[in-house]
């Protein structure tokens, strides 16, 4: 396995390691009517802390959970006792869903030693492993250095220019029905459909039934089947920048180097009346 993924066996063996920081980065669509923070208090992996994707964002933006400033990110990590020299393990309750967003955020802010728990809490519980309840224990503050890597993030202008010039391909992680515009978008004011020229790589096509990530060869095959050429630059997108990070994790696992994530994703594009939107395959 690459350094970006760890197994439940590996984590169970390293639970008490002083250099490990475990974060529960669970997040759910508003339509799911689930409270990730409340679920964390009911059961989490021993020693884990809750990583609040909505709070750890640019709260001044009208778009959901956009990247925060490096200052805000490093300040929050310092308070959580997550600092330089720590190996961060991110998981979520679904299996492999929002943990990859947290993984990507750490990478964007220059912290390379971060991995996603393969199969997440779902697999951990299925294997009857220990959990604890209640709030996370307070940690001693640690220094966290945030070094912003702008090449990993794209904005709407970048994406529009890439689609127009053909310099990069857009891989849209949403379901086929949302991509084709056959389903109403979960956020009000956002049109149904996709960007002209985008390719649909549903994030679920990269996952096994137990929520673990498929092998690099299978991931490559999923992108190729969707018409994405991994020898050319790729921009990942989704509804609001969460599941796009699953594609980013998959691309990283295949050794693909030239890729970035569109942070505003479909919420920004579909919500902009001036942006071109198409429906159908």
CA distance 117 to 245: 14
Contacts of residue 69, Cβ cutoff 8 Å, sequence gap at least 6 = 58
Active-site residue flag, 30: no
CA distance 261 to 65: 14
CA distance 99 to 121: 11
Token output for 203: 């994030």
Q: Count Cβ atoms within 10 A of the Cβ of residue 87 and give its class: 0-12 exposed, 13-18 middle, 19 or more buried.
A: middle
Token output for 242: 């969460």
**Element (H or E) spanning 236, and its range?**
strand 234-237
Catalytic residue (one of 173, 213, 238, 261): 238
Torsion angles phi and psi, residue 122, rounded to 5: -60, -50
- For residue 179, which of 199, 198, 167, 193 has the smallest C-alpha distance? 193
Contacts of residue 62, Cβ cutoff 8 Å, sequence gap at least 6 = none
Distances, alpha carbon 82 to alpha carbons 3, 13, 88, 92, 184, in Å: 19, 20, 8, 18, 39
Q: Is 253 strand, coil or helix?
A: helix
The DSSP result for 144-199, as a single string, is: ------GGGEE-HHHHHHHHHHTSSEEEE-S-HHHHTT-S--SSTT--SSB-TT-E
Give the catalytic positions in this structure: 238
């Amino acid at each position: 396995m690459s350094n970006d993924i760890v197994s439940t066996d590996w984590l169970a063996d390293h639970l008490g390691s002083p250099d490990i920081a475990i974060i529960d980065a669970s997040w759910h669509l508003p339509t799911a009517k689930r409270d990730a923070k409340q679920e964390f208090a009911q059961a989490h992996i021993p020693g884990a802390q809750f990583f609040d994707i909505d709070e750890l964002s640019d709260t001044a933006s009208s778009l959901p959970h956009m990247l925060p400033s490096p200052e805000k990110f490093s300040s929050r990590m310092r308070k959580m006792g997550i600092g330089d020299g720590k190996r961060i393990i991110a998981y979520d309750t679904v299996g492999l869903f929002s943990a990859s967003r947290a993984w990507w955020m750490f990478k964007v802010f220059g912290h390379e030693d971060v991995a996603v728990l393969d199969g997440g809490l779902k697999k951990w519980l299925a294997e009857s492993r220990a959990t604890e309840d209640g709030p996370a224990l307070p940690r001693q503050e640690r220094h966290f250095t945030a070094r912003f890597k702008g090449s990993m993030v794209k904005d709407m202008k970048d994406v529009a220019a890439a689609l127009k010039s053909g310099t990069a391909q857009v891989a849209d992680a949403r379901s086929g029905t949302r991509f084709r515009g056959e389903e109403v978008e979960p956020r009000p004011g956002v049109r149904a459909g996709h960007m002209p020229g985008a390719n649909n790589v549903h994030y679920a096509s990269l996952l096994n039934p137990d929520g673990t990530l498929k092998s690099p060869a299978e991931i490559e095959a999923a992108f190729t089947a969707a018409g994405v050429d991994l020898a050319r630059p790729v921009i990942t997108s989704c509804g609001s920048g969460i599941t796009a990070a699953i594609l980013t994790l998959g691309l990283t696992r295949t050794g693909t180097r030239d890729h970035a994530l569109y942070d505003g994703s479909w919420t920004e594009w579909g919500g902009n009346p001036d942006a071109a939107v198409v429906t159908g395959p």
